[in-house]
Structure 1
Amino acid sequence: MKRFTLSPVAAAATLTLVLAGQHATAQQAAAPKPAAEAENKLEQVVIIGQRASRNAAVQSKRDADQVVESIVADDIGKFPDNTVAEALQRVPGVQTVVGFNNEIVNPLIRGIGDIITTVDGREMFTGVGRGFAFQDLPAEAISRADVYKSAGANVLEGGVAGAIDLKLRKPMEFRKGLTLVVNGRASKGEFTTDPSTKLGVLGSYRVQTDAGEIGFLADVSYADHKFNRPISFNCDPRSGTNGPAGAAGIVLPTCVGGLTDTGGYQRPQANASIQWRPNAQNEFYADALYAGYRGKFGTYFIFSDIFAAANITNAKASTDCFKAHINGAGFLGSATDGIQNLCNGVSATFNNVPGLTSTQAKTGATDQRVLAAGWKYNAGPLSLHLDASHMASDNRNRNIIVDIGKQIASVDIVVNAGDYGTTNMPGNPLGSKTDFRFANGLFQDINWAKSEQNAVALKGSYELDGFITSVDFGVRAADRDSAWRANEAGGPGAPGGNRVTLVSSATQLPADFLIQAPNCIPQINGCQPWMTPNPDYLRNNTDVLRVLYGSQPGDPAYAPVNNYDATERNYALYVQPHYETTVGGMRLDGVFGGRFVRSERTISGAGRINNVVTPQTASSTTNHFLPNASAKLEVVPNLIVRATAGVTMSRPGLGDLNPTVNYSVPLNANIIPGGSGGNPELKDQMSTAYDLSIEKYFGKGSYVQAAVYHRVLKDRVVRSVAREVIGGVTYDMSRPRNLGKATLKGLELSAQYFLDMLPGALSGVGVFGNYTMADSVVNTPGDKLFGKPLLGVSKHSYNAGVLYEKFGITSRLTYTWRDKFNEGQIDCLVASPAENGLATGICGNNNAPYYNRVKAYGRLDFAIGYQVTPQLSVSFNANNLTGAKYYSYFQNESFPHDIRSDDKFYGLSFNFKL
């Protein structure tokens, strides 16, 4: 008999669908509570089950005045995904990437990353940045996340792309008496040896007293995450005609190598809340939040500078050939350099080459703290909400790097082994401790950032009769102080000179100073290990290394030219009337209004002029009026046409605003000198956006929507070089600058449907999906990206999934995909023409842009859970079932850049509730 097996992917899909057809043999789960119809009512309901959470999210989407997408927790301590950013990638119009530690990070809303993050409506940021690291707040602590994709006068300013508000649990959400929830998770990646774990406990107590109703809540969690992410890479292309003998006319990598980011981090979190309602009109509350991060990991490199070889043999060329101007070093040259006929390489052997390994010993710590208190009043037509908060963020990082190297006999490379390159060092010479020498200097990068912000906000609403049904209004003032300190990254040179002193001759170093790298890279040496400096020794004995390298003990002093202090005060005032009427028998409602914003800031730093450190201070004030309007027309029951328009803004980064300048007055008047600095005159980036959608709702939680959007950005901040006259001398100064406009327009399609009409067990099936087309273009004449798309934006992306919930079983299978995108721009690159029609290569101000491009990729995730008892549920999840990997290439797919192996994760979790 012929036998067959199911792949993990097929098995997951089959299991999800089979669940829909099985008989009701499992214990019936508790019926979900009905979804609330508005956000203020949602705060009084504990959602149970993924269908109930999706119903609540759809209801919020329908009722919102802006274009809003919501993600609601399935239950207390049960968010739909492992992290908030992971859940956000399912939202229409949101794209994400995988970080170095295999976490989903850096959400973009419709192609733009300037997002303001709030927690319970209060601004959150990390260090001196404008953004917040979503992953620092555990998903289990979140009750819901709201993604605002259009403007609203009542939405906190600062995100030109939009805003994301994360809501924590509050005690008045729960029933009276004691509620206790314990949740835990354990997961294991294929590339890690140890599992990742997370444990959380939430307790809430709500009681009626003679003084009124009082609620107390405390939520604590601790996560310990282990990770390993192998990467293999080719360095930038280079003409073999100008390199070692043996590869004339063939384009080969300048170097080859790989790295692994390996280690772990911990995230402690605690939040608490007290609510007191002395009567039906008043509520007083106090909130506290702590979110921490402690990371300790290493980046382990293996590398060969193959163009320093004695010669090249067995060089083979592909049929991908082109012409380009090449300079003497073998890189893309100017129009005055000669033209070479070149073909991208297939493979080659480099003989007598330098090999290198390196350890970057990294530690990082972040502490985020919020203390807040407030009052809510609701009586008759008037409601008020007063909130005062203190937010502090402290971020510290250390990176100590030691490079070692030796000469090796040969390196065999394959430039393109199907989306990536491979490297083989016969005999694995870097796997032996012998003959390693110190290479390069002792690199030390130590920095510290701190910000504190005090804010007070009063907002309210007054109900009216007539066309204007109510008026929202509010004021806010925030005072932020920030400081950044960093040394001048680098350090003393290698002892005795580069690659002179043997590591084994340094008697002050222990026998275990060189260790075997903790993981391997599949595309390098057949995944054989290599020797590298011990990261723990680098962290704990840095002073011994400093003396060995000829420096003084102790951390290097923070460099005045890297330091700055900033004070920023922001004020806002808004008014937003709600209206409602009928047009031809159809209900029409919406809002119109505006937000006035004023910012006052002073930043002090220090520049270096003729090698003399000079203190510099700059102050600025900006004022903006941000109008908005929306309209919802219910054409027939449950069929809505929605239109919105509005202006949003984001403030430049504090580091970009730093007034520091660095330059030297030239001795030769015939030479145009260079310099660099920040730019205190940067304008705020502005965006004007328009949205139009048609939405049809079916029963509870089912809908279909089609939307188009158009956004114009102006005063984008880009670092560029321009001529400036300082003291009568002309300089080529590199600074961040406001460089014009970009346009982003597109289409969003989304739908969710529960198959309630099916008989029996099949009625638990639901399907969902969304598609986004984001068409962006830079409209700034003179910008090298003029007429090209914004970096980091995929034109097409989609999510599709099937879920099942019945008889205590809940299951979900989801596929998330994004199209290729241009990750970064490279000014001068030896590259063959690609899809943008690049002509014969010239390196100069007018050359067409070259890119590091990322191929399209998708991830398949699966989860299944069971309600064992009304109190206990268990679940299993599998992330990245297909083992999707990141592939990038230099301009053309025939010359790959790197492959980043995103891990697969398998996990078990439980949720126990009393």
Structure 2
Amino acid sequence: MKRFTLSPIPAAALVTLALAGQQAQAQEAPKAPEASKLEQVVIIGQRASRNAAVQSKRDADQVVESIVADDIGKFPDNTVAEALQRVPGVQTVVNFNNEIVNPLIRGIGDIVTTVDGREMFTGTGRGFAFQDLPAEAISRADVYKSAGAQLVEGGVAGAIDLKLRKPMEFRKGMTLVINGRANAGEFETKPSTKLGVLGSYRTNLDGGEIGALVDISYADHHFNRPISFNCDPRSGTNGPAGAAGVVLPTCVGGLTDTGDYQRPQVNAAVQWRPNKENEFYADALYAGYRAKFATFFIFSDIFAAQNITNAKASTDCFDAHVDGAGFLGNSSLGVQHLCNGVSATFNNVPGLTSTQAKVGMTDQSVLAGGWKYNSGPLSTTLDLSHMRSNNRNRNIIVDIGKQISEVDIAVNDDGHGTTNMPNNPLGSATDFRFANSLFQDINKANSTQDAVAFSGNYELSGFITSIDFGVRGTSRKSEWRANQAGGPNAPGGNRVTLVSSASVLPADFLISSPNCIPQINGCAHWMTPNPDYLRDNTDVLRKFYGSAVGDPAFAPVNNYDSNEKTYAAYIQPHYETSLGGMRLDGVFGGRLVRSERTISGAGMINGVVTPQTASTTKTHFLPNASAKLEVAPNLLVRATAGVTMSRPDLGALNPTLNYTVPSNLNIRPSGAGGNPDLKDQMSTAYDLSVERYFGKGSYLQAAVYYRTLKDRVASASYPETIGGITYDITRPRNVGKATLSGLELSAQYFLDFLPGAASGFGVFGNYTQADSEVKTPTDPLYGKPLLGVSKQSANAGLLYEKFGFTSRLVYTWRSKFNEGQFGCELVSPAENGMSVGACDPGVAPTYNRVKAYGRLDFAVGYQVTEQLSVTFNANNLTGAKYHSYFQSESFPHDIRSDDKFYGLSFNFKL
């Protein structure tokens, strides 16, 4: 096991945890109800929801964190992913449209997502886009960090189960809930809105008790996210005259992602209980996504300048081998002494603007039904479901450019680059020419999955108190279609044809950019192609660019079809005994999993499209065990161990292989392809925690965890002999091993002992330390942490609920992390002292690193009447921004301005 040490902050927190536990010994909490009963409780209020989550955490057999809705249609955050970022050990990022997305559980993103226990995924992927399901539709989210035999396999990191509302949760008669939300941002001032209506009816009939529920919501979001960037570092010695010895960006520019998207959602449920032993149910879910937006670029290829003046260098200097183009080269090349630049002026420079007009849509639907039986010691559930996921994307790109006289840059202006083009020449429509080709990227992904699951529990007496058991089978069919991205060259040749001379195009073909970028030209607007015209008149553009009308055909080498069947069976006994007078309980068991897959694609062999099909079968046994020892009243020690797995992405499994027999046999040829023989990624994880529960919803916890990962997938090149010729074939391969270990501290405390109004306060917080390391010498990340993982993350919050008021102030923070790798870059030694003076084989890669950042969110609500509540929320009050840099902070990469949001919401209940 990798040894890890505690920083002073978590070490002090452990001492505080121990002391607080001692002080709480005299407080006795009532015994928590069984977690299964919580679904039958309509939660009211922030404190009640947190109390329910703590009870679920305490009673669970696995390591589980829960988020429970405050009330019907009142999840604690705007989206599920936004709420998940508050969970200990979960880290997220901000998407292009300002949404919180891509949760990692303890540094790993391979998560299986279920909705009411049924697997969900988006398109042909393995993962699910949480933002596609509105938070108002969810009653709770359970985050499983450790293995359980009853959990659907497919998530190395763990599992997240989202629970939708059911009619039997509500009182007899009619329940109607209407909720709405509106918010606007600092960069996007047009309000985004969301409206939802939930109706539920429950009654007794001659045939038993019956309930029906329909939940409908519609969201209309508008967004704008400005980004400013520096391109790759490059030696001024090899560039335009005037900046010898100074490292400057190859290019500078920025972009805004601007547009809107809509999310319609409908879910319905019917439950019928003809008697106390039986329940029959039917569920339906539809979640849609419709997006129309554009990426507007402004850009300058500054190393194509006539010359450079006023070049200033910093004191961050180093020696490096440089190739003829000014980039990092191998050690056979000459050495230059270089210093990172501070600022410079580039004269007579190409300027460019670009519009990427995008349309995206996703449709997710589930139809399911089943039968629950509960009599005496036996309870069972038979569930049948059909899921469908369809995804479509179109991206049409037109670039235009002109020569401009001057570009002034600051390489590092408080953590980001700043660009100024005097007199804003790209803001004038004159003299623009078409640049580059017409680019069309069009794809679609379809998947369907039929599943049948039978599960149950049988109660016993003695050491084994009950046994969970079940079987599950699925049949999934998927298809991916994409064109060969790219298109015809610019009319007349690159930067020859004037935009103004193209009489076939309308007068409003060029528009002023809808938004601006604070770090570029003082937030001046620029001229760019009209995205609406690009979307609606693609045939006109194709003809103008000299190509046949109509969308380009899907390319056979980009397509694949997959048919995958999975079978699983599990058994998991629960046990309970006494150890030295202390109650000990837990589970042990395992899940046997088998997958059968056929995937068909096509490769390009010597210019000929060649169909290829591969079939694979894999079987795994996934054991798990847990123990929970109550060493004193409400003081628990919990230990878990288990094996989890995740299947490779279907795109990586595509058997496509592309290569050409070389004409010169003295040169080893190369090729590329997918890999249908990829193994499933496996993980073995161990958890140990100490948990102290007291009062109503208060607790303290300290936990350590250790996880090993094997058969991680990475792209790697190895020699392969085909037809007697040895090729260097690049494929995704199982080349990676890694370890992940760390510490989690979390606490929640309600200050009931304070007098009067002050007794409504509560505090909560959590801290996670995550140490990861790649262990495989052939992996480019060998000896380095996993990408995307911050070593430290934390949440701290203040709560208040009294006299009808409810409020929350939460700060969410994560430390710096390596987001991606560049290979070889001309950068100064990083803060860890690693030198990258040459780009030789085996040299460690450089990284795009992201600085530590935190977000402050606030909400305050008031219960106007028993039926009506209103809430004001403010998100990202500190205006947190994403800052990345090329290995060393003295050479920033980009700054992404996450928006601030202010909004109002209401919830009306009858």
Aligned-pair CA distance for 1:723: 1.9
- Percent of matched pairs sharing the same residue: 81
Contact kept? 2:593, 2:621, Cα under 8 Å: yes
After superposition, residues 27-38 of structure 1 pair within 5 angstroms as 37-38=33-34
2:203 — aligned with what?
A: 207
Q: Which residue of 1 aligns with 2:730?
A: 734
Any conservation in 2 of the 1:130–1:653 contact (CA below 8 Å)?
Answer: yes
The answer to whether the 8 Å contact 1:691/1:710 transfers is: yes
Match of 2:24 in 1: none
Q: What corresponds to 1:288 in structure 2? A: 284
In structure 2, which of residues 782, 787, 790 is the aligned counterpart of residue 791 of structure 1?
787
Which letter does structure 2 place at the counterpart of 1:43? E
In the alignment, what sits opposite 1:529? 525
Instruction: Specify the alignment match of 1:103 in structure 2.
Output: 99
Instruction: Tell me how far apart the structure 2 counterparts of residues 892 and 910 of structure 1 sit (CA, whole Å).
Output: 47
The one of 792, 799, 819 aligned to 2:815: 819
2:632 alignment partner in structure 1: 636
Cα distance, 1:670 vs. partner?
1.4
Structure 1 CA distance, aligned partners of 2:50 and 2:189?
36
The aligned amino acid for 2:495 is: R
- Note if contact 1:841-1:847 (Cα within 8 Å) is conserved in structure 2: no
Change (3 A) 1:59 1:168: same
Measure, in 2, the Cα distance between the counterparts of 1:730 and 1:528: 56
In structure 1, what is the Cα distance between the partners aligned to 2:193 and 2:695?
A: 39
CA contact (8 A) 1:440 1:493 kept: yes
Give 1:237's match in structure 2, choosing from 215, 233, 236. 233
Alignment partner, residue 892 of structure 1: 888
Deviation per residue, 1:832-851 (Å, 9 max, x gap):
00123222421122112210
Distance in 2, Cα, partners of 1:469 & 1:35:
19
Cα distance in 1 for partners of 2:677, 2:706 equals 28
Higher mean alpha-carbon deviation, 654-663 vs 832-841, is at: 832-841
2:665 is aligned with what amino acid? Answer: A
CA deviation vs aligned residue, 1:270-327 (integer Å, no higher than 9, x gap): 0000000001010000000000000000000000000000100000000000001100
Aligned to 1:859: 855
Letter in 2 for 1:586: M
Segment of structure 1 superposing worse, 831-840 or 88-97: 831-840
TM-score by length of 2: 0.96
Query: Could you tell me which amino acid in structure 2 is paired with residue 168 of structure 1?
Result: L
Cα displacement string for residues 727-775 of structure 1 (whole angstroms, at most 9, x for unaligned residues): 1212121111101310000000000000111111111100000000000
Structure 1 Cα separation of the partners of residues 884 and 300 of structure 2:
20
Question: For 2:737 and 2:839, how far apart are their aligned partners in 1?
Answer: 25
State the SS of the aligned residue for 2:289: strand
Contact kept? 1:36, 1:45, Cα under 8 Å: no
- Counterpart in 2 of 1:89? 85
Give the alignment partner of residue 261 of structure 1, picking from 247, 254, 257. Answer: 257
Distance 2:58 2:36 in 1: 14
2:592 is the alignment partner of 1:596:
yes
5 Å-filtered alignment, 1:177-196, equals 177-196=173-192
2:515 paired residue number: 519
**Structure 1 residue identity aligned to 2:273:** R
The 4+ residue runs of structure 1 with deviation greater than 6 A are: none
Task: Specify which of 602, 617, 624 is matched with residue 621 of structure 1.
Answer: 617
Distance 2:395 2:536 in 1: 12
Alignment match of 1:228 (pick from 224, 236, 242)? 224
Partner of 1:174: 170
- Amino acid in structure 2 at the alignment position of 1:428: N
- 2:480 corresponds in structure 1 to 484
Question: What is residue 23 of structure 1 aligned with on the other side?
Answer: none
* 1:277 aligned residue: 273
**1:118-149 Cα distance to aligned partner (Å, 9 max, x none):** 00000000000000000000000000000000
Report the secondary structure of 1:53's partner residue: helix
In the alignment, which residue of structure 2 is the partner of 1:310? 306
Are 1:554 and 2:550 an aligned pair?
Answer: yes
Q: 1:184-227: CA deviations, max 9, x gaps? A: 00000110131000000000000011100000000000000000
Aligned position for 2:76: 80
1:259–1:302 contact (8 Å) kept in structure 2: yes
Distance 2:637 2:615 in 1: 46
Counting matched residue pairs gives: 881
CA distance in 2, matches of 1:352, 1:730: 49
Matches within 5 A, 1:292-441: 292-441=288-437
Match of 1:159 among 155, 165, 179: 155
- 1:8-87 counterparts in 2 under 5 A? 37-87=33-83
- Determine whether 1:510 maps to 2:527: no
Q: Which residue of 2 aligns with 1:675?
A: 671
CA contact (8 A) 1:646 1:689 kept: yes
TM-score (norm 1): 0.96
| Distance in 1 (alpha carbons) for counterparts of 2:269 and 2:800 | 35
Deviation at residue 42 of structure 1 after TM alignment: 1.2
Query: Any idea what the Cα deviations from partners look like across 1:83-142, whole Å, max 9, x if unmatched?
Result: 000000000000000000000000000000000000000000000000000000000000
Render the CA deviation track for 1:426-477: whole Å, top value 9, x for unaligned: 1100000000000000000000000000000000000001000000000000
1:836 aligns with 2:832: yes
Contact 1:577 1:593 in 2 (8 A): yes
Q: 1:751 aligns with which of 747, 750, 764?
A: 747
Q: Is the 8 A contact 2:836 2:843 kept in 1?
A: no
CA distance in 1, matches of 2:823, 2:270: 56
| SS in structure 2 at match of 1:716 | strand
Kept after mapping to 2: 8 A contact 1:265/1:294: yes
8 Å Cα contact 1:37-1:56 kept in structure 2: no
Q: Secondary structure at the match of 1:740?
A: strand
For 2:783 and 2:646, the matched residues in 1 are separated by 23
C-alpha distance in 2 between matches for 1:854 and 1:152: 34
For 2:523 and 2:50, the matched residues in 1 are separated by 44
* Consecutive unaligned residues in structure 2, runs of 5 or more: 1-29
3-state secondary structure, aligned to 1:565: strand
Q: Which residue of 1 aligns with 2:15?
A: none
> Aligned Cα RMSD in Å?
0.8
Q: Which of residues 426, 439, 464 in structure 2 aligns to 1:443? A: 439
C-alpha distance after superposition, 1:250-285 (max 9, x if no partner) = 000000000000000000000000000001010000
Contact 2:434 2:495 in 1 (8 A): yes
**Contact 1:326/1:340 (CA < 8 Å) preserved in 2?**
yes
Please report how far the alpha carbon of residue 700 of structure 1 lies from its aligned counterpart in structure 2 after TM superposition: 1.2
Q: Mean alpha-carbon deviation: is it higher for 169-178 or for 782-791?
A: 782-791
Task: Give the aligned partner of residue 15 of structure 1.
Answer: none
Q: Is the 8 A contact 1:228 1:262 kept in 2?
A: yes
The amino acid that maps onto 1:176 is K
Q: CA deviation at 1:35?
A: 11
